[in-house]
Amino acid sequence: MTKIAVLFPGQGSQAVGMGKELAEKYPVAAQTFAEADEALGYKLSQLCFEGPEDQLKLTEITQPAILTASVAAYRVLSEKGVKPEFAAGHSLGEYSAQVAAGTIKFGDAVRTVRNRGKYMQEAVPVGVGAMAAILGMDAEKVAVICRDAAQGEVCEAANLNSPEQIVISGHAKAIERAVQLATERGAKKAVMLQVSAPFHCSLMKPAQERLAGDLRGLTFANPNVPVMCNVDAAIVTAADASRDALIRQVTGAVQWEQSVRNLIAQGVQTFIEVGPGKVLFGLMRQIDRAQKCLTVGDEASLQKTIEHFAAGVS
């Protein structure tokens, strides 16, 4: 039997209309959106299904929206009998993974990621921080560039996504200097990103401290499926370790490439990106094209994934 890992997307995968098709067709998906609406006290479902896009892009709405669309898709997939051996999620997606693993209750997770988005937004005044993507340059060279560009400011690797893509985060001026240096030193491309805050760097310390208080107030269970955590690219199988990983990932880098490689080393051969978009599917092609990667975000992709397993293909 082939081992399966489910992967959950993070911020940036949102799109108006996400989850709508599945919610219309599957009661368990509709129920998931209803639970989120109740937990938050407003119609998150309506923002997901109809927009407007500018509201869906606000971090404290984006985070619960992606979590809800991802958990809804996962619950539909579960009803179809697909059971993973491992779960992982990119940044915010780690919350979806922990909900899928039964570590935290969905309602608790929805409220927590709303606050997470709010805390991240409030940690750094708008315009002070920035993020950039550096393409076609290895991690060691990017680390040197970050050191050279810092000049007493924060400039750190935030997302080690694939051999082709590293995202950096920190003070806006330092990130601009790093983009310039990366371009001069042979990066394929270095571009500033349209983000509202400098995620996954030490500037997020105030957000991490506030979120830690929230997470310590929640009940965590031992995950019933091992979860690969971002910050260490290591498997967590205990409640306290799961909570600790979610706290540390606010300022820690997302070790995505290493997480995926470690899942492959555990014998995973089939990866399913569950939730909106195909960002992780794209990264998988950069990390290891030999792996089977499927997606579940709407009815068409769900059916394609179900057919794959029905055919007994590994």
Q: Which of 179, 195, 211 is the last residue of a domain?
A: 195
Looking at the structure, tell me whether residues 208 and 187 fall in a common domain. Answer: no
Q: Do 95 and 209 belong together in one domain?
A: yes
For 169-222, how does the pLDDT look when each residue is reduced to its tens digit (9 = 90+)? 999 999 999 999 999 999 999 999 988 899 999 999 999 999 999 999 999 999
- Supply the CATH number for residue 221's domain: 3.40.366.10
Confidence of residue 314 (pLDDT cuts 50, 70, 90): very low
pLDDT tens-digit profile of 92-134? Answer: 999 999 999 999 999 999 999 999 999 999 999 988 999 999 9
Q: Are residues 8 and 119 in the same domain?
A: yes
Q: What is the pLDDT of residue 1?
A: 72
**What average pLDDT does this structure show over 8-23?**
96
Counting the structural domains of the chain, the total is 2
Closest residue by Cα to residue 104 from 81, 87, 123, 122 = 87
* 230-262 tens-digit pLDDT: 999 999 999 999 999 999 999 999 999 999 999
C-alpha to C-alpha distance for 226 and 101, rounded to whole angstroms: 7
- Each as own residue / partner, the long-range contacts of residues 140-149 (CB below 8 Å, 24 or more positions apart, any chain) are 141/185, 142/166, 142/168, 142/182, 145/178, 145/181, 145/182, 145/185, 146/170, 146/178, 148/178, 148/181, 149/174, 149/175, 149/177, 149/178, 149/180, 149/181
Domain shared by 143 and 208, yes or no: no
In this prediction, residue 237 carries a pLDDT of: 97
Q: Which residues are catalytic?
A: 91, 200
Domain boundaries, position 14: 3-123+203-310
pTM above 0.85, yes or no: yes
312 pLDDT band (50/70/90 cuts)? confident
53/104 same-domain check: yes
Percent of the chain clearing pLDDT 70 (strictly above): 99
Same domain for 216 and 101: yes
Whether residue 9 is found in the same domain as residue 71: yes
